Amino acid sequence: MLKRFFLSERNMMGAILLNAVVLFLLYFPAYKHNDWLERIDHLFILFFLLEAGVKMYILKPKVYFADSWNRFDLVIVLGSIPALLVQVIPVPDTSLLIILRLFRLVRLIRFIRFVPHLGKVISGLGRALQASVFVLLALVFLNLLLAIFTCHFFADIAPGYFGDPLISAYSIFQMFTVEGWNEIPADIAAALRDREKNGEAVMRTDVLIGLTRLYFVLVVLLGGVFGMSLANAVFVDEMTMDNNDALEDKIDGLKEEIQELKAMLRNQANDKKL
């Protein structure tokens, strides 16, 4: 009974989901220091430790550690122990206490192992990342180049967006994602109009605003529309390569069968003639 229970993947998945619900509730202000939920969470830590011990006993250490998922689970469970020890050992430093309590969230990572076809997903991700490296490096280089260029021209006008190269790189990346990109040129246009009112404009404000909008439209087109779309296309294409390979293999198999059928029909026709 105990053996079947702990070796059942469905039971372990259910336990992880229940633990996730408890942790979810513990982060609501109303339940943050709820003693009952804290105790239930500690029981889950003990439950997962017991699971590891039972599996090790049933499968024997050599077989248990031969499975990479068992090693992964054990590391995750051992990483949760500090959250349990905090209740017994007094920790004076509050920041250290918070860090130790964060370890309990690590247990939820175990749910990854129950993702269907995880091996194929990881293998697809690996291929996609390899194929996308050049495109990603090109996007990073373009981001840094535009960040420095934009910082040079707009650092004084919009320091909140382009005050230094790092802030500028973040703002340019935000524009690449096409998320609220139009707010940046609008804020710069407002700053330019304020300068005109204060008599600080060096050339016609309307011309400057027009050039600013044109520049940022080009940034969005270059990095957001073309750059990010290309990166997504390469990534998705490589992720689905397994499916394409399977279809190609099936098509090749059908072609071979058709060729064999044609050859059989030709042989039958020749036999009839003879």
pLDDT value at position 90?
66
**Averaged pLDDT, 240-250:** 64
Its pTM surpasses 0.95: no
Percent above pLDDT 70 for the chain: 77
Q: How many other β-carbons are positioned within 10 Å of the β-carbon of residue 41?
A: 21
Q: Where are the domains of the chain?
A: 2-114, 120-239
Q: Is the pLDDT of residue 234 over 90?
A: no
pLDDT, tens digit, 9 for 90 and up, residues 137-161: 888 999 999 999 999 988 888 899 9
pLDDT value at position 202?
58
pLDDT value at position 64?
84
**Averaged pLDDT, 222-238:** 82
Confidence at 100, pLDDT banded by 50, 70, 90: low
pLDDT, tens digit, 9 for 90 and up, residues 82-93: 777 766 666 555
The residue with greater pLDDT, 161 or 258, is: 161
Separation of CA 150 from chain center = 29
pLDDT value at position 103?
62
pLDDT, tens digit, 9 for 90 and up, residues 182-215: 889 899 888 888 877 777 655 677 888 889 999 9
Fold classification of 2-114 is: Four Helix Bundle (Hemerythrin (Met), subunit A) (1.20.120)
pLDDT value at position 231?
82
pLDDT value at position 57?
85
**Averaged pLDDT, 7-15:** 80
Q: Is the pLDDT of residue 69 over 60?
A: yes
